[in-house]
Structure 1
């Protein structure tokens, strides 16, 4: 698209970018973006800005999206081939790609230790849409039991999306308060509270609560893995009171932890009634899934929910390939191995700055480094040095690179991050 702007002169290219950014003011004011960076292409775990002739190691993967790397050649081939056959036909009719993906999601989930009673799939377009479906399904199940059973429990530091329902169960007030009244009957609990306090709340409100939604590893909240005993106890108390448990695996799922799903590391007693997936499911192509058990499915009827584009053949064709690659034990083992390499490097940096870095936490290839002060300057310095990282919460830097990142690129990225930290703290 911008090829006509490129020249052999770096100065000319930078002037062209400045002109584009000054003239192209048609986007709404919802994003804060650096004005000296315009991504033009990618290759596995690297991104390129041809306007400024710069190369970046990408530890963001589009916020945990491009699990199989940028510009994956097989994904590109599948998109091209499928686009010549069938892109869209709506959910008025079956398509083979949609049927294949639904079966694969269920069977791979069970094979790799995920939701043991997974039964049915609702395909849609994005993570927030998958969570909207999950919330609706939980509320529908609740209402069939008791018309007052409509409430949803969510947790402090959670993030589940930006549309009205998902936003209503997102903790951060900066996302919620600008929009006035949202979906009612939402209660936020603190996962760090004693289990007895959480259980008392649920027991008191059991006739009013339809569902509970939680991230097995809180992403936006700062990369906080939820303790296994808490998830086991939550499922137990919810099951006892016929409350649907929803796991939001949009960021932490699909191989990110070294398991196919983060909850695959849990005992069956902690498995959810519903879990949601998006991000990596399409490796950048918009597609998402809400997976339910038969208890939830039995509460649904034709017409209860729907989507125009969800489960389109183009997205499903890509996702079938993504699941084939990630849903393989050798691949998952490689994620675990790379994760250990990343963890080791981050812990070494922490050891060098015990007064500045308070924690390193995560699993597989999802890690957070918590600083004692806001790390904005470190993120900026890393970018200047050729590494892209992002924050999670107020004081944590998030690391979610492509699952296909090469070991040497992990090492190179750690070297840059270490230099960024040292440069900022030496001032």
Structure 2
């Protein structure tokens, strides 16, 4: 018999009842060190006092308004994002998937309004993840994502990650945009080097198509910059944001230049919940904290510390791990054992990690994690690795 909750997740048998900073408390009292942060969502950890205060204060005033009216909290958050980024304008959503849908619509509408309605194709990359809507799965077009959900929406192509010559050959007069994650998350923590980002920007300019960046997972301070593309000093035309921007509250956004957004006039798009007062009050609290230069410097420093300790972990467990990759506090451990076995073994050491493609274990801790907690996490990973290896040899 089907359970009341649709069984689309393989859930771990854990029942967390409370969160404190980098820690999750199970109902039996066990304390788990959270190196997943809700898959890069809880940017400021669990129950951060600034977010609790913002939620409480706004919740006592006004939760929701239709976008038929002006929303001061939304305007404040949009202004903060515009001042801190390449963008001239922002549309607020509820999720990364919803941000993907608007990014695709915006790119196509731009070319329609520019007198080139034939430019509708979007090129994505293997290993990408842009959500689970019909457009998002068509963009990626892997068997895991699309099997049984056909027919797929037309207008998407896939390029090989890092093969810029192949990408160049795919771009035609019908190409509206290229979409890419500066650091792939679900694909196994694969970062683009600054030189590659610059080459991609130049290619899009040369070929006459827009560049869409998906910073849903790698944005909002995760790499030590407010957004990951800022390490390369390039700017996109359109950018998707979600996850960390709400610190755990469902919130997303699409940022764009005035030129790229020129087709999105009144009536062309909307969202019932997107940008409501409660969500934007929390988003403002997140951005006030994360956009601070000192905070971002600390994220970068802690990312270097984590990387250093993980390199030692890999060296000490050569039968379990192959390499470390990533940037800032978005790190992947390429495994030799099945990564799922490492995730399970980590549960046994009261540590939360996240599996990814390419046999990678993701580490996406709260940006507020302490040096001591980083050391504790790597120690628990070491014990989990040894336990997983022992189990494998025994089996």
TM tier relative to shorter chain = over 0.9
Q: Which residue of 1 aligns with 2:99?
A: 130
* Residue aligned with 1:295, SS: coil
Alignment deviations for residues 38-81 of structure 1 (CA, whole Å, 9 cap, x no partner)? 1111001000112x221100000000000111011221121111
1:200-239 aligned at under 5 Å gives the runs 200-202=169-171, 205=172, 207-239=173-205
Q: Which residue of 2 aligns with 1:401?
A: 365
Residue 355 to residue 171, structure 1, CA distance change in 2 (3 Å): farther
User: What is the CA-CA distance between 1:302 and the residue it aligns to?
Assistant: 1.2
Q: Which residue of 2 aligns with 1:63?
A: 39
Q: Which residue of 1 aligns with 2:25?
A: 48
Structure 2 CA distance for aligned equivalents of residues 385 and 372 of structure 1: 20
* Residue aligned with 2:16, SS: coil
Tell whether the 8 Å contact from 1:154 to 1:213 is kept in structure 2 after alignment.
yes
Q: Which residue of 2 aligns with 1:79?
A: 55
Query: Please, which moves more after superposition, 143-152 or 100-109?
Result: 143-152
Structure 2 CA distance for aligned equivalents of residues 385 and 233 of structure 1: 43
Structure 2 CA distance for aligned equivalents of residues 285 and 356 of structure 1: 36
Q: Which residue of 1 aligns with 2:76?
A: 100
User: What is the CA-CA distance between 1:166 and the residue it aligns to?
Assistant: 1.8
Q: Which residue of 2 aligns with 1:326?
A: 290
Q: Which residue of 2 aligns with 1:38?
A: 15
User: What is the CA-CA distance between 1:294 and the residue it aligns to?
Assistant: 1.3
* Residue aligned with 2:288, SS: helix
**TM-score between the two structures when normalised by the length of structure 1:** 0.89
Tell whether the 8 Å contact from 1:158 to 1:172 is kept in structure 2 after alignment.
no
RMSD (Å) for aligned C-alpha atoms: 1.5
Q: Which residue of 1 aligns with 2:335?
A: 371
Q: Which residue of 1 aligns with 2:220?
A: 254
Structure 1 CA distance for aligned equivalents of residues 376 and 269 of structure 2: 47
Q: Which residue of 1 aligns with 2:131?
A: 161
Structure 1 CA distance for aligned equivalents of residues 141 and 228 of structure 2: 21
Alignment deviations for residues 365-397 of structure 1 (CA, whole Å, 9 cap, x no partner)? 000000134221111111011101011114000
- How many pairs align? 390
* Residue aligned with 2:148, SS: helix
Structure 1 CA distance for aligned equivalents of residues 140 and 19 of structure 2: 31
* Residue aligned with 1:142, SS: helix
Q: Which has the larger radius of gyration?
A: 1
Q: List structure 1 segments (4+ residues) > 4 angstroms apart after TM superposition.
A: none
Tell whether the 8 Å contact from 1:39 to 1:47 is kept in structure 2 after alignment.
yes
Structure 2 CA distance for aligned equivalents of residues 42 and 356 of structure 1: 30
Residue segments in structure 1 that go unaligned for 5+ positions in a row:
1-21, 110-114
Q: Kindly indicate whether residue 121 of structure 2 is the aligned counterpart of residue 143 of structure 1.
A: no
**TM-score between the two structures when normalised by the length of structure 2:** 0.96
User: What is the CA-CA distance between 1:300 and the residue it aligns to?
Assistant: 2.1
Structure 1 CA distance for aligned equivalents of residues 320 and 60 of structure 2: 54
Alignment deviations for residues 102-129 of structure 1 (CA, whole Å, 9 cap, x no partner)? 10011022xxxxx3xx100001111110
* Residue aligned with 1:168, SS: helix
User: What is the CA-CA distance between 1:240 and the residue it aligns to?
Assistant: 2.7
Choose from 302, 314, 320 the match for 1:350. 314
Tell whether the 8 Å contact from 2:334 to 2:358 is kept in structure 1 after alignment.
no
